[in-house]
Structure 1
Amino acid sequence: MYLDSGDFITRAEAIHALMARWTPDIATEILPLEQSRGRICARDVFSQNTLPVCRSAQADGIAVRFADFTDGVPDTSAWKKDLDYAMADTGDDFDDEFDTVIQVEDLVYNASGTFSIVPEAPIVKGQLVSAQGSMLCTGELILKKGAVVHPLQLCILAAGGISQLEVVKQPVVAYIPTGNELVRPGEKPQRGQNVETNGLMINGYLEEWGAVIRTYPILPDDRKLLDETLTNALQHADIILINGGSSKGSEDHTVWLLKERSSFLQHGIKSIPGIPVALSIVDGKPVINLPGPPFAAFCALDWCVRALIYRAQGRAMLPPQKVTAVLLQEVHKPAPYEFYLRLKVYKTADGFCAEPLSWGSRFSQAMNCNARMVIPVGLEGYQKGDVIEADLLYELPDEERRN
C-alpha cells in the first residue's frame, strides 16, 4: 500500500482515534497475596485486623507500673520478674498490670542477675507503649483500587489479614514477527538474512507494563499464512502486534491485509522514526503493525502500545522521569514531522548534559541511548547549548553520572 503523506496524522490524533473505537473489557481475578506483586488492585481493600490487638512495646526492655515511680526511681535490687516488672520485646504485648516501658539501654544488669535503672533515664507514664489500633484498625483503607501492588503493600496487606487479592487480569498481547529474511536469536545470519531482535525488546517492555505475551514463530512473507495467524491471534489475545510489512515494499502484505479486515485503519504517522506504523481495529481489537527497524518499533511501542496496555488495565500512564540538560550539539529535524531524538544523558559537576545520538541505524547508538526527547511539529531543531528536557529511559547508572 503506497504511503500518502497527505493521509498522515500526529501521534496524538492517531491514539485518540484508536481509543475512541476500542473499549477493553477489564476483567479481574483473585490471586494468593504472594502472587499479586506487580499487579493492579481491582477494588479498594480494607483491613480485617486491628494492630496491635491490645497494645505493644515500642522497644526492647521491661514493662513497669508507672505508679512505682511517683517518688522517683525505686530500688529494683529485689524486684521479681512478672511481679514487679515484665519483659518487653519490640512489638510484643505484656500483662495489663504494667503500663510503661523502659528501654534496655536504660538498664544496668549486675552479676547477680538483678538490674538497676539509670538514674537520669526519663520515665513518663505510658512511654514506649503503642496503643491498641495505633498501627492498623479494622475497616481502615489499606490499598486503593488501581494501585500497583509493590512489596511494601504486600507487607501492609498481610498485616491487615488479607491472604487473597482481587487484581485486574493482565492483557494478553500477541506478537507476530514477519519477514523472509529473519532468523531467530542465536542463529548466525547468512547472506540476505537478519536476526529477529525486536521480539526480545518488545517482550521486555510488555512484561514491564504488565501484559502477558503470546509470541508466534517468525512468519515468512506469505499473505495467506499471515491471515491465518492473525485469525488465531484474535482468538487468544486482547491486543495484536505484527512486526514488519508496514511499508510499501513488494513483500509488505500486512497493511493490505489490515485494509481488508479492519473496521478502522490509520497508515502513516507524522513522527520520525516510525512513519509507516499502522493502527487498526480488527474484530473489535487493536492490531498494530510495527515497523521493522528497532528504534522505529520502539517509538511505536512508546507512544501507542504502552497506552493500549495501560488502558486495558484501567491504569493511567505516569509521565516519564525528566531531567533538565544542556544540549551538547545542534539538532535539526530531517522532516516537518515530530522527531524522536535519541540522547545520551550524563551528569557533570555543573548538572546534566545531553549528547544527541545519530538517528541512523547503527546499533552502537542504541547501546549509548539512555534518554530521549520528542521535537514537536513546527520546531526545526535546537542549538548547541540550549537547555532541554530529556525523558530518561531508565535510571542512570553511576558511570553515567560523571563528576
Structure 2
Amino acid sequence: MTSIAVIGAGIIGLASCRALKAKGLDVTLVDRQASGEGTSYGNAGLIAGYANSPLASWQTLKQLPGQVFSNTPSISIDPRYTLSMAGFSVRFMRAATASRFQRHYRDLNVLLEHAVEAQHGLLDSLDEPSLWSDSGCLQVIRNDTRLAARLSEMAGSKQAEGIRCEALGAAEVQALEPELNDAGLLGGLYFPASRFLRDPRAVCQRLWTQLAEQGVQRINDHVECLRPRQGGGWLLEHGNGTHGKETTHFDAVVLCAGLANNHLLKSLGIALPVVSERGYHLALSTPLALVRPVGWLAHHFYATPMANGVRLAGTTEFCAPKQAPDTRRWHHLKNWGQELFGRSLSPSSQWLGVRHSSPDGLPVVGQVPGMPGLCLAYGHGHLGVTLSALTGELVAASVAGEALPEFAAALAPSRFLRGVGKKDIIKR
C-alpha cells in the first residue's frame, strides 16, 4: 500500500487525509499543533460560494492608495514586507489586467461551483449538524448611496453566475437581522443558500476523530526538512529538539502547511509567490441575537454568530508572519462592529492568524513538476474553508495518478514555475 504523509493539520490537510484514505491509501498526518489550530480556527467560518471575484483586480488597485493613507485601513501592506512580496506583487499586477482577471474570474467560478457541493458533503459526513448552519449570509451597505444604487446590478451579476442572491432594501435587511443599526443602513445582498460554520475548530477536531477511527496515523512533530530519497519516495526529518530528530520515509508527501510550505520548498530550490496575508478577529462577550454572518462590504469584515458568541473577523494585512500584531486592527474591528450594531461591544478574546495567498486568487494544488510524489495544497487566501473538501479530492486524485478535471489545470504549481530555470526544480 502506498504510504502518504500529509503535512499540516488544518482544514486543508484534514480534508486531504480524508480523500486519500477514501482511496485506500496508507495516510499519516504530520503536525505538532492540534487539529484545527491556526487559521483554520480563527476564520469567519464562511462557506463562501458567492466570493467569486479574485482580489487581484483593477478595482483593488484603485482602492489601494486610499487604503494606504487611511487611518482605519481594511487592506494594508507593511513596507518592511515589500521585498519579500516582490515576485507576488509583479504577478498580482499582471493578474489584475482585464484579460487575465476575466480568465481567473472564470476559473474561480468553476472552482467554487464544484467546491460548495464537495464542502457540504464533507460537513454532512461528520454527522454533527450543530457545527454549522444553513441560514444564509448577508452583505450590507451603509452610508454609501452610490454603491446602494448598484444593488440590483450586483445581485444580477451573481445570479448570472448561478449564485442565489437577492438585493434587499434597508427594511428587508433589518427584518432579517433586527440587531443591526438602522442608522445609515441602505440595503444589502442576501445569499439564502449559504452555509457557515458555528465552530471551525470543532469541525476540524470532529474530522480528525473520524480519520483516527479510520486508521489514519499521526506524527505530532514539526517537519524540519524534506528531501527526495534515492530510489524513490521522500524523507521527512522531524523533531522538536526535545527527543532528537527522526527521519521517516514515505512514498509521497502532500504539503498542506500553509505558509510553512515555503520553508520546506526553499530547501528543494523552489520559490513560489505565495505570501503572508494576515487576518484578525475579536470574539465578543456582548450577547447579540444574530442569525447569520453579516459582512460590511466597505471594511472587508464579517460578524459571524459562532457557538460561543459573535466573532468579528477579517481585514487584509500583507505582513511578515511573525511580525508583532498591529493592535489598531482589533480596535478598528471593535469600532466597526459598534457602528454596525449601534451599541457598545465588549470583546472576550482577540486573535491573529496567517493566511497564505497567491497573486492570481487561485490556490496552488497539484504535483510539483520534476518531483514525483510531491504534491502541494496551499495558497487559498480567504477561501480555505470553502475550498478544502474539493482540494482534498484533487490531491487524492493527483497522488493516485488519476485523470484530473479540466479546471484543475488552472491550479497547478507549474503556472508559477514556467521560465524560472532548471535550477529551481530538482530532478532525480
Shorter-chain TM-score tier: under 0.3
Larger relative contact order (Cα-Cα within 8 Å, sequence gap ≥ 6):
2
- Return the index of the structure with the highest Cα Rg: 1
TM-score by length of 2: 0.20
TM-score by length of 1: 0.21
